[in-house]
Structure formats: structure tokens, C-alpha cells
Amino acid sequence: MGKHVVAAVSELPPGSRRLAVVRGRPIAVFNLDGEFFALVNRCPHQGAGLCEGEVTGLVTADGPGRYRLERPGEIIRCPWHGWEFDIRTGQSWCDPARIRTRQYPVEVAQGSTVVKGPYVAETLSVMVEEDYVVVEV
């Protein structure tokens, strides 16, 4: 596995998510209060894109009628059938002993280190000609 730049930190503010395709794999990248996490963008149940699901928390109860929302913004719910996964670990809340979605390591790298590598970023030459921006592909 190689390291791939998927976005600038400023493009993923806290509470946001982004779909990235890395080496043909759809990856859902999440910012949880300044910490970044990445999961394969495919529910193991029937393949729905997790990035399209609702981000929620865990509802817990210590008795009838006494429930509370814990870990708000840390659970992604599959948009097709509602299976829930921990964004931090990929662990399923439907069947935690058997089901999880793949998690990928994420790090924040300073721009100066990204330029040096070993990261892989697609770059294009850009030129300004008079009042137009031209992208060379």
C-alpha cells in the first residue's frame, strides 16, 4: 500500500466527509473533530456506499424510557438497510463479533513533506495566459 493525498485539511472541516477513489478503491474519509478516519465506501451487507449514509451517534438505554445519544457524529448508517458502523474502527453495531468494514490508516502531513514524497498525488500543469486559466492534461 502506498500513501495517497486525498484532500487538503481545509477541504474537510470537522463533521464533514469526502469520497475519494484511491487505486480504484472507493474510500470514505471523515473528519471527527479534527481527527481523520477512512473506511472502504462499501457496506459489507449488500455494497451500498457508506459515504452516502447518515452520520449519527449511538442510542443507549439503562432502562425503559431512559435513553441517551452517545458518541454523536461517530457512527455511519448504511443508506440502504441501516447497518451502523463505528467511523473510528469500522466495527459493526449490527453484529460486532463478525462484521466490520475495512478501515484504512490516515495521517495529516505537512505540505512540505507531501512535496518530498513518498505520497502519490496526481498533478497537472497549469498556466495563466492573459485572462484565462488553462489546464494541461
**So what's the pLDDT on residue 96?**
76
Helix residue ranges, H only, the chain: 111-116
**So what's the pLDDT on residue 120?**
62
**So what's the pLDDT on residue 77?**
94
**pTM to 2 decimal places:** 0.78
As to burial, measured by CB atoms within 10 angstroms (0-12 exposed, 13-18 middle, 19+ buried), residue 58 is middle
With CA atoms as reference, report the closest residue to 16 among 72, 59, 66, 73.
73
How much is the average pLDDT of 24-34? 92
What is the per-residue pLDDT across 63-87, written as a single tens digit (0 to 9) for each? 999 999 889 899 999 999 999 999 9
Contact (Cβ atoms closer than 8 angstroms) between residue 38 and residue 32:
no
The set of cell numbers assigned to 12 is 474537510
**110 or 61: whose pLDDT is higher?**
61
Rounded Cα distance between 102 and 124, Å, is 31
Mean pLDDT of the chain: 82
**So what's the pLDDT on residue 137?**
25
**58 or 1: whose pLDDT is higher?**
58
What is the per-residue pLDDT across 114-132, written as a single tens digit (0 to 9) for each? 656 665 666 666 555 543 4
How much is the average pLDDT of 40-69? 91
